[in-house]
Structure 1
Amino acid sequence: MPTSDVVVVMVPFVAQGHLNQLLHLSRLISTYNIPIHFISTTTHCRQARDRLHGWHAHDNFIKFHPLHDPDFTSPNPEPNTTTQFPTHLQPSFNSSLHLRHPVADIIRSLAKTSRRVVVVHDSIMSYVVQDVKFIQNAETYIFRALSVFYILCFNLIRLGKELPFTLEMKLRLPDATATVSQEFTEFLKLQYSHQTFHVGNIYDSSRVIEGKFLEYVEKDEIMGKRHWAVGPFNPVEISPDVSSSAQQDRHACLKWLDKQPEKSVIYVSFGTTTTFLECQIRELALGLEKSEQRFLWVLRDADKGDVFKKDTVRRLELPEGFECRIEGRGLVVREWAPQPEILGHFSVGGFMSHCGWNSCMEAMTGGVAIIAWPGHSDQPHNACLLVDVLGVGLLMREWACRDELVTSVMVETMVRKLMGAGEGVEIRKRATELGGELRRSLGEGGGGRKELDSLISYITR
């Protein structure tokens, strides 16, 4: 086997948002002619590739290593729970612990034929990569899959330190440890115990949006000395394929968007881990209908641990006659949709979102303002960042009211507010300006490009 200089190994966490981010980062690093090895289970390698949008993972520099799927139960999402955290995914999360030895075997094999093996692993795969510290020419970098803002809050609270924010903002923020389940908290504690030998930290973020929070992390050396914010990871310019075959294969929702006026559509989607009660789906539907606003709504239940097991997928019911009444003005999509292309489409002017970090970054990159409707984990902190810090969104409701039904009147009011005149105009303007600044940062000489160059320079030193 020929000897390589430096190779990069990606070890993503087994959930859609995490898989997606490290596959996007693989593309960025591979543009520097550095070979990438993407390691996950057979199911999750397939999931990452099948759901990829904006580019094709057929690059010779990205090699997938599909490992045997560990056995785990894959229950359906449960809407009738006291928390929105996706506890039904915990068996899948726990199964990732079984990847420790096969991952180590691949890294050892690569180390024999490379000057250096750079292992970029999700922070919650730290247990899995613990054996890397015994491989002399291998080193680890922790990928922090969430916003710097959330990570700062989470770690300051965990370390018993004061949050460096105004009292008003502190009151808006939930305890970062109280937005996940107790079982997942224990899973996180196991990961912390193996975060002791990494070289640096990588973020899907940008100093354009989180510079002051990153400076705080660096100044106090929280989580170490080296930090690279090299986002957005997602493609910032998606050039449509104009060939006839590609146009024929375009998703139906994109063809529908083509027929709508510029900035006239609000996109509605709540990611892969949100489960709504039927009564909440009804109120959301009626609110969108009464708003008289054009909308594209991706209506899917939360992912199961194995997304390819379709045997008992719940069909989410809409009010009787709803789709007939909104025909032409609204479109409901029930399958996986190409979100980056949607948010980059000329006709989309707003986004009602759960505020998962992938969705936040894709929206900010596209210059699209947000109605923030967070459900769990980092989402309420991300909503605060968008609304209170950056001013590119509106909050559907206060986190303290999270257990209350969001009524159709609330939905109608917020959609009209964001997409109409007055306050919405200024918010949409700020979102557009922020999107332009983010995209420029990744161009030649931009701050984001320099950050990525710095990372590449360090790992290839």
Structure 2
Amino acid sequence: MTTHNYDHCNGEVAVVVVPLPAQGHLNQLLQLSRLVTTYGIPVHYVGFTNHNRQAKARVHGWDPQNSSLIRFHDFQLSSNLVNALSTSTDDVHSTSKFPAHLQPVFEAAGYLQQPVSTLLWALAEEFKRVVVVHDSLMGSVIQDVRLISNAESYTFHTVSAFALFFYIWELAGKPLQLDDDDVPKEIPPNEGCFTSDFSDFMAKQYTYLSLSSGRLYNTSRSIEDKYMDLLQKLPMNLNKKLYAVGPLNPVIVTGKRKHRCLDWLDKQPVNSVLYVSFGTTTSFSGEQIKELAKGLEQSEVRFIWVFRDADKTPGVEEGRRIDDVAPAFEERVKDRGMVVRDWAPQLEILGHSSTGGFLSHCGWNSCMESVSMGVPMAAWPIHSDQPKNTVLVTQVLRVGIAVKDWECREKVVTASAVENAVRRLMASDEMRRRAHELAGRVQGSVAPGGVSHLEMDSFIAHITR
């Protein structure tokens, strides 16, 4: 592991970043690391070897290998440990589409407590202050912070302020009286969003929230000011400082292009291509894949479809698929469609002028990237925060349409439903106008003087006080 010279930081402050080992979480905290280093502060990014490698390989818009201020601490994940945990966390009765296959890795992450503690004590001797920014689901791993006099921790939330508030609000028995305009007509309940194993895991990790000095959120007050204010009113956040510092992804994409789909996009008309991707934790049934393929074909819309199976455990196995799109389908749509079976540069695709819509699971990374690039969404929620994000995107921000209602989550989405949603989305100039307008606000929020930029300045000023 390379040792970097941090003399220009005067040994004042070091930041330790501790993500949950799942792609959406790894990515956001790596993006936050990039932001922190722009202030000349060294960052220590902690995780399992495979997941650190994955985070670096998949990050968009910049190359973490070029940053001398980010140091990756790689810890080995034992496959024996994962296998042992797999037998004890098998949620066989769950009907949730939540990726239960990742649960053993989440449980195994608890074993990072000891090596992370060793790192914190070592840094505490070298720096005046050690600041830990940890995923909200990694609280148990950093609990030894309270024993170190010159260390403090901050909780990082990887979901929208909207989804987080309504999740906690429902869980706590709806303690706050809300105005009618604060609550969209139908907020999907927490039921069906998670397995019971994961709900128990969250509850355990949330018991450590009281240890942190504040909270950080990958959102912008330019779009979620109301829900940031509501979060501040929750009992768990009283006397805590909340910082909305997003979007964390770059809002202007530059750099070398490596993927063939970008060359293909260059040849398509402006706003003509639908980008189709359902994230890293979702695998559809063969029946659903066929209906989706048929719907895309019938829509006659240009598209890029990222078609790869969900990430596996304990490492990352790229390109495995539970089913396949028939070669005949690809042959029929070859003049207007591209099927991508490997990792795709999502941020670059969304930032391309030819991309005019995004058919998505509505994970928060995807939502923030789509919003910041001005691309309207067709929302197809599957688990976790996605049903609530769908309401935020479609009813609150009004930059998307719903393909699938959450109450119909057990049903297959038919080809005709896909076709109709895709056509509606791609034909809506009004929605595209709103998306571009919203993107302007969000991009402005991270520019110097913008609200998110000022909140990041405030956070940095606080930890370097």
Same fold (TM over 0.5): yes
Deviation of the 1:167 alpha carbon: 9.4
Query: CA offsets per residue over residues 269-299 of structure 1, 9 Å max, x none?
Result: 0001112110100000010001011000001
1:371–1:394: 8 Å Cα contact kept in structure 2? yes
In structure 2, the residue matched to 1:209 is 223
In structure 2, the residue matched to 1:279 is 287
Q: Judge which range, 186-195 or 215-224, deviates more.
A: 215-224
- Inter-CA distance 283–165: structure 2 relative to 1 (3 Å threshold): farther
For 1:177 and 1:434, locate their aligned partners in 2 and report how far apart those are by CA, in whole Å.
31
Q: Which of 43, 49, 58 matches 1:36?
A: 43
Sequence identity percentage: 46
In structure 2, the residue matched to 1:288 is 296
Query: TM-score, normalised on structure 1?
Result: 0.93
Counterparts in 2 of 1:274-423, with a 5 A limit?
A: 274-309=282-317, 313-319=320-326, 321-420=328-427
- Inter-CA distance 213–302: structure 2 relative to 1 (3 Å threshold): same
1:430 equivalenced with 2:434 (yes/no): yes
Deviation of the 1:170 alpha carbon: 5.9
Query: CA offsets per residue over residues 149-178 of structure 1, 9 Å max, x none?
Result: 111111112222256364995662222254
Q: Judge which range, 151-160 or 34-43, deviates more.
A: 151-160
2:21–2:51: 8 Å Cα contact kept in structure 1? yes
Q: Which of 181, 192, 195 matches 1:181?
A: 195
- Inter-CA distance 57–236: structure 2 relative to 1 (3 Å threshold): same
* 1:129 aligned counterpart, secondary structure: helix
1:190 equivalenced with 2:204 (yes/no): yes
Q: Judge which range, 156-165 or 358-367, deviates more.
A: 156-165
In structure 2, the residue matched to 1:231 is 246
Q: Which of 63, 85, 99 matches 2:112?
A: 99
1:204–1:233: 8 Å Cα contact kept in structure 2? yes
In structure 2, the residue matched to 1:449 is 453
Letter in 2 for 1:109: A
Query: CA offsets per residue over residues 34-62 of structure 1, 9 Å max, x none?
Result: 01000111111111111112100020110
Question: Over aligned residues, Cα RMSD in angstroms?
Answer: 2.2
Deviation of the 1:258 alpha carbon: 0.8
For 1:29 and 1:369, locate their aligned partners in 2 and report how far apart those are by CA, in whole Å.
30
Deviation of the 1:221 alpha carbon: 5.1
1:141 equivalenced with 2:162 (yes/no): no
1:300–1:316: 8 Å Cα contact kept in structure 2? no
Q: Judge which range, 167-176 or 154-163, deviates more.
A: 167-176
* 2:237 aligned counterpart, secondary structure: coil
For 1:171 and 1:183, locate their aligned partners in 2 and report how far apart those are by CA, in whole Å.
30
1:72 equivalenced with 2:82 (yes/no): yes
Deviation of the 1:446 alpha carbon: 1.2
- Inter-CA distance 320–309: structure 2 relative to 1 (3 Å threshold): closer
1:251 equivalenced with 2:259 (yes/no): yes
In structure 1, the residue matched to 2:213 is 199
Deviation of the 1:255 alpha carbon: 0.8
Query: CA offsets per residue over residues 189-209 of structure 1, 9 Å max, x none?
Result: 111222221000000000011
Unaligned runs of 5+ in 1: 242-246
Unaligned runs of 5+ in 2: none
Deviation of the 1:82 alpha carbon: 3.0
For 1:457 and 1:414, locate their aligned partners in 2 and report how far apart those are by CA, in whole Å.
46
In structure 2, the residue matched to 1:244 is none
How many residues matched? 449
Letter in 1 for 2:47: S
2:210–2:236: 8 Å Cα contact kept in structure 1? no
In structure 1, the residue matched to 2:272 is 264
Deviation of the 1:124 alpha carbon: 0.3
For 1:201 and 1:114, locate their aligned partners in 2 and report how far apart those are by CA, in whole Å.
22
For 1:166 and 1:298, locate their aligned partners in 2 and report how far apart those are by CA, in whole Å.
39
In structure 1, the residue matched to 2:102 is 89
For 1:412 and 1:68, locate their aligned partners in 2 and report how far apart those are by CA, in whole Å.
45
Q: Judge which range, 266-275 or 192-201, deviates more.
A: 192-201
* 2:282 aligned counterpart, secondary structure: coil
Letter in 2 for 1:448: S
Letter in 1 for 2:282: T
Deviation of the 1:401 alpha carbon: 0.9
Letter in 2 for 1:124: L
Letter in 1 for 2:23: Q
- Inter-CA distance 102–240: structure 2 relative to 1 (3 Å threshold): closer
Deviation of the 1:309 alpha carbon: 4.1
Query: TM-score, normalised on structure 2?
Result: 0.92
Q: Which of 17, 24, 34 matches 1:17?
A: 24
- Inter-CA distance 177–17: structure 2 relative to 1 (3 Å threshold): same
Deviation of the 1:97 alpha carbon: 0.8
* 1:172 aligned counterpart, secondary structure: coil
Deviation of the 1:316 alpha carbon: 2.6
Deviation of the 1:216 alpha carbon: 1.6
- Inter-CA distance 72–228: structure 2 relative to 1 (3 Å threshold): same
For 1:177 and 1:407, locate their aligned partners in 2 and report how far apart those are by CA, in whole Å.
24
